[in-house]
Structure formats: structure tokens, C-alpha cells
Amino acid sequence: MDGKLGATSLGNTQLVAYGIQTEESDIRVHVCPQVRRVYVYPTECGMNAILTGKYIEKPGYQKGIETPTATGYIVPPFDIRKCSSIKICDAAWKHIKFSPSDSLAEKGRKAEKLVRGMLKHGLLPVPMNGRQVTDEDIQKLGQDILVIKGHAIDQEDIRIQVKCDYPGGEKHLGGTGNLFLQVSECNPLRIY
């Protein structure tokens, strides 16, 4: 072979709707190793950015595959309402050892590992609501605010979708200037 994969070894090659609009997440986290930043925003704010019609849908490719394996909208991070940029210390990036030559699956695993570490150390801003304590007896115990997990009182879990957006991030930091908000994909190489 000439370095290209034979058609018989390929999995699905037809793009299907799969991405920000189909996932059931509350928060999206784009890990951008090239700029050493992590971008966090409510999923609905990313969808709202796409729905403005202001952004271009572009194809994405996997190494060795000539046809697009994904499509997504390229959106500047701070055009997404409530998007936060988080600078992570160099030691964390060195510990995880991201590399542009990592497979897609490996980049994803490393991104998830970084985000789990951020959660463990309280470095990931997650939505919480606070309720003021008005009972004087409870206030005397040193409680002024009670934190309610999630977006609603009855919601306990905060669902997070992690994306390794390797070259993404702010242009002045060396990134593309955008985040890739995927809306379709296929999986010809069966990467999980």
C-alpha cells in the first residue's frame, strides 16, 4: 500500500449528526495543549453561538483519511457566552505529556485526565447556585450560603463533555483563534 488505508479496513465513512447538538452535557471543556489553556462554557452557550449563523462550518480530518471525518463550527472562545479561559501550570502539562503525534484516542484520554485533575484540585469552574441562609440560628453556626449543585435544586450531577482541541485557543497565544464545535462525525478508523 502507499500509506493509505484500504477501503476494506475502514469502519463508518458517512458523516452522521454527532456533537454538541446531540450530547447530553451541561458543561463543555476544550483542552487546548498548543496554547496550554482550558476553555470551559455551558453547552447551551456553545449551541447558542452556532445558532447565530455567524460562524463557518468546516471539515475535520483523521490522518490517512482523504474525506472529512467530522464537521464543526469554528468559534472564537470569547464569542461563546460564559466561556472561561483557564491557565494550567506548566507542571500539569509536562506530567500528562501531550504531543501533536498522539493518536486521537490518546489525546482524548490525556484531556480527560487533565480535567479530572482540575476537578480534584478545584480548578474547574462548575455552575452552582447559592441560597442565602436567613435562619439566624444556622448563621450563628457559621453558615451564610448553602451551595446547590447543578442548575436546579433537584439536579445532582453536572455532566461534562471533554474535547481535546489541540490547536484551538487564542491566536495571541499561538492557537487557531477558535474552538472547534463539532456537529457531525464518522469513524472510519474505529477510534474509541
25 within domain boundaries: yes
Predicted local confidence at residue 135, as pLDDT: 74
Residue 162 pLDDT greater than 60, yes or no:
yes
Burial category of 165 from C-beta neighbours within 10 Å (exposed 0-12, middle 13-18, buried 19 and up) = buried
Average pLDDT, the chain: 86
7 within domain boundaries: no
pTM, two decimal places: 0.83
Residue 5 pLDDT greater than 80, yes or no:
no
33 within domain boundaries: yes
Residue 7 pLDDT greater than 70, yes or no:
no
Q: Which domain holds residue 54?
A: 13-185
6 within domain boundaries: no
192 within domain boundaries: no
Q: Is-contact 27 152, C-beta < 8 A?
A: no
Most confident of 17-26, 42-51, 100-109: 42-51
73 within domain boundaries: yes
Domain count along the chain:
1
Predicted local confidence at residue 66, as pLDDT: 87
Q: Is-contact 111 134, C-beta < 8 A?
A: no
DSSP state of 52: T
191 within domain boundaries: no
